[in-house]
Structure 1
Amino acid sequence: MLSEPRSGRLAAWGNALLAGFVSPDDAVHAIVGDDAVHRVEGLPDEPGPVGLSLALGRLRGLGVTGFRVALPAPGHPLGLSGPPAFNARALEAEEAVVGHGAAYGLVPDVHEVGPAGDRHVRVVWHCLQVRDAPPADVPSLGEAERELAEAMREATAVLSRLDVAGSGPVAEAALDAYRARAEAGAGRDVLAPGYPPRAVRVLELAQRVGLLVSLAYDNGHGGAVSASEMAARGEALRPVERVARRAQVAAYNAYVEERERRGEA
């Protein structure tokens, strides 16, 4: 939840490329990030995997005018629209990109390769047919922002109760780590050019809430004295995590939603 999903990078920088805000080389560089290489397979009329730059150009030629993100979890098909085969693959990967304007979607298959000490990541995006339908359970940016304010309060409260058997050193250490990592990320570009400021604000807050949730899980044993107590903590955190995922998707999808609002294809 804390780390930026690969689908988010592809959608955001793919949208910036389609809008003419960045060059193909800059878009590919941003999408690949720290990975070694990204390839796309399954494109119509392409016999094998192709590079990202060619794939994005081919998708544009096929009619794709924008990209949305899906971040599904068991029981929550967030951002998906079908068909079942695509949904199942996206659920397994826990993320996907869905084209707007033409019914194609991309699901990443991530592999670490190389010997110990020299591992690197290769990603193959599988291009599949999707259903042309509204994505599931994606809020507006306004709704996401309101939900996140409450989620931040809830996540902080859960985190502060981590060390229930003592004075709270686990919680305090986790909060210190949260503050340090939030400060380290201040000023970075969380979205590609062309996104509205509100989408940037919502994504930043969603990532902070996600960080709090991950810290709570990472330090979840703390002073817990029973399995039932830990189960209760998980029950408290799951709705917060769900809100943060919904907000992430709303932020990444804001480019397409804005085009639809203006009546653009």
Structure 2
Amino acid sequence: MLMEPRAGRLAAWGNALLAGQAAPDDAAARAVGDDTVHRVVGLPGESGPVGLTLALGRMRAEGVYGLRIALPAPGHPLGLSGPPEFNAAALAAGEAVLASGAPLGLVPEVNEAGPAGDVLTEVLWRCLPVRQGPGADVPSLGEAERELAEVLRDSTEALARLDVAGAGPVARARLDAYRARAERERQVLAPGYPARAVRVLELAQRVGALVEIAAQPEGLAPGATVSAGQIAERDRLLRPVERAARRARVAAYNAYVETLERQRG
């Protein structure tokens, strides 16, 4: 995932707003990012779509004190707590935001329109009921950091022997572009997050970028050929790395609420 999940941006800056560490309009703008506009529909007390600033204020009035994320994939309901209707919507979107303090969750619907180079991206977050409770398979920051190190150690040498991942100029250009963007956007989490969460997310970002680039066939060197067996072996090696990177992302974004709840006792 070369781009960070929208759920992550919304949760991080929503948490900063809820903690009083970011102004409402600033938090909303950072959550929107490069998209054109974000709206929320289905909030209690609201009859139609509202902007993020109003939506976050409404959620705080409902008792929300923090936001978590989920990044589910088929067979892996990472971060989800139910009910089935919400889980199904989150799985279809590949991401979701879950509130702490009120049984509310947000699932994005993304609509793009316009010619290449001038695309307008509108995101509609649907507010749905969720079951309060811990999300599925979310590790602690320490567990996530150790897991990333272990899977990288176990898979890097094998991937290098296959010589099929990230060898070509397209892959190198994509990796260089990712690194340049990451350097420009050094603040990967909003104010209020522990330093370890920042470190874990930065590592998860790099690992996720490498996995996505390695999985692209255009990453091969010109004239290179890959057997079906090599492709299957590459996919087998990348699968646990991608899973570990997703788990680490969720752990990092959710660290604010985890820390807050420990302090609340």
Gaps of 5+ in 1: none
Give, in angstroms, the shift of residue 162 of structure 1. 4.9
Aligned to 2:203: 205
CA distance in structure 2 between the partners assigned to 1:123 and 1:163 by the alignment: 39
Q: Deviations over 1:113-155 (max 9, x none)?
A: 2345532100000000000111100000000111111233345
CA distance in structure 2 between the partners assigned to 1:120 and 1:195 by the alignment: 31
- TM-score, normalised relative to structure 1: 0.91
Change (3 A) 1:213 1:36: same
Change (3 A) 1:41 1:236: same
Letter in 1 for 2:140: S
Letter in 2 for 1:132: Q
> Residue 39 in 1 paired to residue 39 in 2?
yes
CA distance in structure 2 between the partners assigned to 1:207 and 1:239 by the alignment: 15
Contact 1:162 1:221 in 2 (8 A): no
Mean Cα deviation higher: 146-155 or 73-82: 146-155
Task: Classify the secondary structure of the residue corresponding to 1:170.
Answer: coil
CA distance in structure 1 between the partners assigned to 2:154 and 2:125 by the alignment: 36
Q: Deviations over 1:187-219 (max 9, x none)?
A: 610000000000000000000110110111124
CA distance in structure 2 between the partners assigned to 1:88 and 1:184 by the alignment: 33
Mean Cα deviation higher: 115-124 or 149-158: 149-158
Gaps of 5+ in 2: none
Aligned to 1:235: 236
Aligned to 1:110: 110
CA distance in structure 2 between the partners assigned to 1:72 and 1:96 by the alignment: 8
Q: Deviations over 1:22-52 (max 9, x none)?
A: 0001101100111000000011121110111
Task: Classify the secondary structure of the residue corresponding to 2:111.
Answer: strand
Change (3 A) 1:142 1:228: same
Aligned to 1:18: 18
Aligned to 2:190: 192
Contact 1:80 1:136 in 2 (8 A): yes
Give, in angstroms, the shift of residue 228 of structure 1. 2.8
Task: Classify the secondary structure of the residue corresponding to 2:257.
Answer: helix
Counterparts in 2 of 1:1-265, with a 5 A limit? 1-154=1-154, 156-163=156-163, 170=167, 174=171, 178=175, 181-182=178-179, 184-186=181-183, 188-219=186-217, 222=220, 223-263=224-264
Letter in 1 for 2:37: V
CA distance in structure 1 between the partners assigned to 2:79 and 2:148 by the alignment: 18
Letter in 1 for 2:249: Q
CA distance in structure 2 between the partners assigned to 1:49 and 1:254 by the alignment: 29
Identity of aligned residues (%): 64
Task: Classify the secondary structure of the residue corresponding to 1:97.
Answer: strand
Task: Classify the secondary structure of the residue corresponding to 1:253.
Answer: helix
Q: Give the superposed CA RMSD.
A: 2.2
CA distance in structure 2 between the partners assigned to 1:31 and 1:231 by the alignment: 37
CA distance in structure 2 between the partners assigned to 1:116 and 1:45 by the alignment: 38
CA distance in structure 2 between the partners assigned to 1:75 and 1:25 by the alignment: 37
Letter in 2 for 1:58: R
Letter in 2 for 1:9: R
CA distance in structure 1 between the partners assigned to 2:116 and 2:190 by the alignment: 34
Give, in angstroms, the shift of residue 177 of structure 1. 5.1
Give, in angstroms, the shift of residue 160 of structure 1. 2.4
Letter in 1 for 2:43: L
Give, in angstroms, the shift of residue 232 of structure 1. 1.8
Give, in angstroms, the shift of residue 161 of structure 1. 3.8
Contact 1:220 1:230 in 2 (8 A): no
CA distance in structure 2 between the partners assigned to 1:173 and 1:112 by the alignment: 25
CA distance in structure 1 between the partners assigned to 2:112 and 2:154 by the alignment: 36
